[in-house]
Structure formats: C-alpha cells, structure tokens
Amino acid sequence: MGHLLKATVVETTNACDSNGVHDFPELKSSREPCEDLEMQHRDILQHGICLTYLSYPQRQNSTAGTILRRCLSEVNSFRNRMGKKLCVYKVGLTSSPVVRFGFYKEGNYTHMSLLWVSSNLGLCQMLEAAVISANIGEHECRNQRYGGEGPPSAETALYHFVYIVGARADQFKPTH
C-alpha cells in the first residue's frame, strides 16, 4: 500500500511524455490482461489523449478512497498544466474516448486525460459523480449536472473511462 501511495505522488507531478503516458515505468511496462484494451490504448494515444490512470496491477489493488483521491489530484494537475485560472474543464464518462474527444474538439476543448478505466460501469459512474461533485462549485468547471448516469449504450461496453477535458478560456473558437 505504501508503494502505491508513493507512486501516485510521483506520477501526478509529471506531465505526459511524447507518447501520452506519464513518465512512470510501471505504466509503460505493465501489460493489460485484455488485448482489446491494449488496442484501445494505441488508438487513444494516437489521438493525443493522455493516459493518467494506474497500470493494471495497481488498479487491481486500489481502494475506492485511493482511486477518488488520485483522480481528484489528477484533475488538479491537469488544471495546473493548462493554467488554473484560464482552464475551463469538464469531467465525464465514456466508453469511446476517441469519439468523445472528437465531439469536444468541435467545442474548442483541446486536451483530454483519462483518469480511470474499469469494466465496472457502476464504479465508474460513482467515480464520475464524486469527481464532478468535488469540482462543480469551481467557476471554471463546465459540468451542469452531477453525472453518474452514463449513456445507455455504456451497459454493453467492455471498458468505461472517467475523463477530464479542458480548454483555455483565452483561446478563440476556430471557425469552420
């Protein structure tokens, strides 16, 4: 448990490397048990989405409190990297991060980080709601609901991702 907490502190202080993964050896070397998720990782990274969740072995041993605390820390790190007072952001849940980020790009959101992944939809719904609840009072947070419901199609998906997207409020929306 002590190793997990130490790793979390180190990980949240680093930005993503050029491959979109925190410069953290355990994340790069740990293999996912499912080839489907590994394929999704490749696609996610190719679209400029940052993976900030723990490696598979670390996720398996994480408590709910550790997961929540870590995700809240990642939200804070994300906002700091973008410029805390200029970063507008939303927290959400998706089964298709690449497709979801495409929709956000149309609204001028420029960065996405995946905070957590799990095959347990209920866990992800509760995590999304808890992270939104902790942030909804922030002026820069654009969530209007507390979340946790997820799209109807999510029930059949293999994996669910809790994410944060952000944009700098001082940037103009591109014209089409």
pLDDT of 130 reads: 96
Across 31-45, 117-131, 137-151, 155-169, least confident range: 31-45
Tell whether the model's pLDDT for residue 7 goes beyond 50: no
Tell whether the model's pLDDT for residue 10 goes beyond 50: no
Q: How far is CA 135 from CA 3, 9, 76, 139, in A?
A: 28, 20, 10, 9
The model's pLDDT over 134-158, given as tens digits with 9 standing for 90+, comes to 999 999 999 998 887 766 667 788 8
pLDDT of 81 reads: 92
Tell whether the model's pLDDT for residue 41 goes beyond 80: yes
pLDDT of 173 reads: 57
pLDDT of 171 reads: 76
Q: Give the H/E segment covering residue 163.
A: strand 160-168
Tokens linked to 147: 């979340």
pLDDT of 18 reads: 41
Cβ–Cβ < 8 Å for 14, 24: yes
pLDDT of 27 reads: 40
Q: Distance (Å, rounded) from C-alpha 77 to C-alpha 84? A: 9
